[in-house]
């Protein structure tokens, strides 16, 4: 008998990072609304072919649902843009840019210290 058991599945890293919660919520809402709209369109089409009294109200509700579905899909896009603008893409600066920033910060701090003390570090070292 084989005593070495292989796992049922193996974890693989995701190809893309997970969507932000507000964007995912808007996307799920849009998918549900679009699915309902497509179902309504199919009912409207079939009831029109059958000559049913339900055809006219179904077509009207399908037109209204199409407007709502378009709005929902645009909401996903706008929510994603707003989220990216507020939270941004976290960029990693290159080591040279980081070092230049550190040097500027050091110079600023030293300038503040000197202006606060009224004398430079050289004067203090000589005293």
Q: What is the pLDDT of residues 15-31, one digit of tens each?
A: 887 888 999 999 999 99
| pLDDT digit string, tens, across residues 62-95 | 999 999 999 999 999 999 999 988 887 656 556 6
- Rounded distance, CA 34 to CA 44, Å? 15
H-helix or E-strand spanning residue 112? helix 95-117
Say if residue 68 is exposed, middle or buried (CB neighbours under 10 Å; 0-12, 13-18, 19+): middle
Q: Which residue has the higher pLDDT, 97 or 34?
A: 34
pLDDT range class, residue 14, cuts 50, 70, 90: confident
Per-residue pLDDT, 122: 55
Q: Which residue has the higher pLDDT, 72 or 104?
A: 72
| Bigger pLDDT: 96 vs 114 | 114
Q: What is the mean pLDDT of residues 39-47?
A: 97
Q: CA 114, CA 127: separation in Å to the nearest integer? A: 15
């Amino acid at each position: 008998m084989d005593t070495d058991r292989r796992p049922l599945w193996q974890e693989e890293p995701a190809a893309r990072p997970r969507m932000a919660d507000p964007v995912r919520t808007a996307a799920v809402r849009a998918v549900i609304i679009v699915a309902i709209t497509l179902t309504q369109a199919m009912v409207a089409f079939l009831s029109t072919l059958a000559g049913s009294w339900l055809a006219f109200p179904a077509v009207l509700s399908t037109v209204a649902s199409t407007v709502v579905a378009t709005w929902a899909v645009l909401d996903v896009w706008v929510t994603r843009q707003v989220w990216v603008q507020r939270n941004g893409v976290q960029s990693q600066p290159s080591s040279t840019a980081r070092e230049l920033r550190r040097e500027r910060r050091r110079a600023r701090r030293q300038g503040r210290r000197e202006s606060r003390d009224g004398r430079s570090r050289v004067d203090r070292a000589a005293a």
